[in-house]
Structure 1
Amino acid sequence: MNPNPNRPRRLSPTIVVAAAFAIAVAGIGTGAPGSAHADPPAPVPVLDLGRYLGTWYQLAAVPQYFNLVCARDTRADYALDELGDVSVHNSCTTWQGSVNEIRGTATVTDPVTNAQLHVSFPGVPTQDARYGPPNYIVTALGDDYTWALVTDPNRLSGFVLSRTTTLDDAQWHDVAAAITAADENTCWYLTTPVTGGLDQIEPLCAR
């Protein structure tokens, strides 16, 4: 209910993000995320799992319904668990300023490259099985593992991860090239606000 008919309604943050995503993909000639492809995106030739562990900051992503609660400072922390798989701890700051987090497990499904994994989260429908087909593909890595591009076999998701809260112009150029090489579109990706880095939400193609 809007008590002042002359005062514009303030949209909720989740509506703003959803609208931004709709604008980002509207009219793009290559279609929206998940368009039909003959083959899944190729993983990097070799992923050194030990070097990949640690903290990653999300600097951009293809919006997902489960991330609409996140306002900023989305990050992932990876470590080896007792079975030799990867423990996953995803967290973010919500629009209300609280911490939202979830824990899961990533198991390598491609021992040749180590760059394709199955990520599971106990209690989450359709994602609670510890073992299964790959749903996390590392398609590109920056020098010295400074950044990573991650997607899935159907290109329905996409994440630009970084060891730091910022990337320089040359690194963003490399990220954009990697997105294109994965047969995705930079307009599908929206920047993620992060303390010490970008503070606005916009399509990568608009940067």
Structure 2
Amino acid sequence: MHNSRTTAGLLRVVLIVVALSGLVIGATGRAEAAPGGPQPVPKVDLSRYLGTWHQLAAIPAPFNLVCARDTRAHYSLGDGGDVVVRNECTTWAGTPNTIIGTAHVVDKKTSAQLRVRFPGIPNQGGPDGPPNYVIVGLGSDYSWAVVTDPSRLSGFVLSRTPALSAKNWRDVRKAIADAGQSDCLYLTSPTTGGLEETVPLCTERS
């Protein structure tokens, strides 16, 4: 059962999501792929990209509203060359939440565009469909990444550590802007050892 503080926190996030949902549709015109789409980074070394990433900010979506804090993605190489995706977080009730899926590289030239699929979600199509995971920003040392999709309706700021330096945050914001997005659409993700509030990224000056 939620305590009053947890309920208030969840309500605050829901209200922010409702307010931002109109901005997302307004920024893209309608909920479909924008002409041209965001440009992926020139090349990703998949072996270096594997491992654990902390989600430090994201464009809110129904599937991640269950997560209150400490959202992480673990990528490992599976059979046949696909990537095993293990997402986990702490829910608003303080319990762990985990979902496991697969990611298939659909852009062999850059390895920066993948199709991620999770069990139990209808109408996902096959693994060789269009990408829904596009890496549009990546630190030269693979310490941070920015991920979106061809429609620009999703977005994730990932980091190897729970916190980023001021310089890395500037690089992240530039990658978001270069992808044709606004950092005001991203909400910070509370992370132990990092940011503790859920606020629009454009208002956070770390």
Match of 1:145, SS state, is coil
1:25–1:31 Cα contact (<8 Å) kept:
no
Quote the residue 2:134 is aligned against.
Answer: 137
Quote the residue 1:16 is aligned against.
Answer: 12
After superposition, give the CA deviation of every residue in 1:28-58 in whole Å (9 maximum; x if it has no partner).
9x72685773211000000100000000000
Rg comparison, structure with higher value: 1
Q: Which amino acid aligns with 2:100?
A: R
Structure 1 residues 25 and 121: CA distance shift in structure 2, 3 A:
closer
Query: How far is 1:76 from its partner?
Result: 0.3
Quote the residue 1:197 is aligned against.
Answer: 194
1:173 aligns to 2:170 (yes or no): yes
2:177–2:183 Cα contact (<8 Å) kept:
yes
Q: Which residues of 2 match residues 15-94 of structure 1 at below 5 A?
A: 15-24=11-20, 31=27, 34=31, 37-94=34-91
Quote the residue 1:96 is aligned against.
Answer: 93
Match of 1:138, SS state, is strand
After superposition, give the CA deviation of every residue in 1:56-98 in whole Å (9 maximum; x if it has no partner).
0000000010111100000000000011110000000001111
Give the distance between the partners of 2:31 and 2:186, measured in 1 at CA: 13
CA RMSD across the alignment: 2.3
Q: Which residues of 2 match residues 119-158 of structure 1 at below 5 A?
A: 119-127=116-124, 129-158=126-155
Match of 1:88, SS state, is strand
1:114 aligns to 2:107 (yes or no): no
Query: How far is 1:142 from its partner?
Result: 1.1
Structure 1 residues 128 and 91: CA distance shift in structure 2, 3 A:
farther
Give the distance between the partners of 2:37 and 2:108, measured in 1 at CA: 17
Match of 2:141, SS state, is helix
1:59–1:192 Cα contact (<8 Å) kept:
yes
Query: How far is 1:149 from its partner?
Result: 0.3
Which ranges of structure 1 fall in alignment gaps of 5 or more residues?
Answer: 1-7
Query: Aligned residues, how many?
Result: 199
Quote the residue 1:188 is aligned against.
Answer: 185
Give the distance between the partners of 2:43 and 2:127, measured in 1 at CA: 23
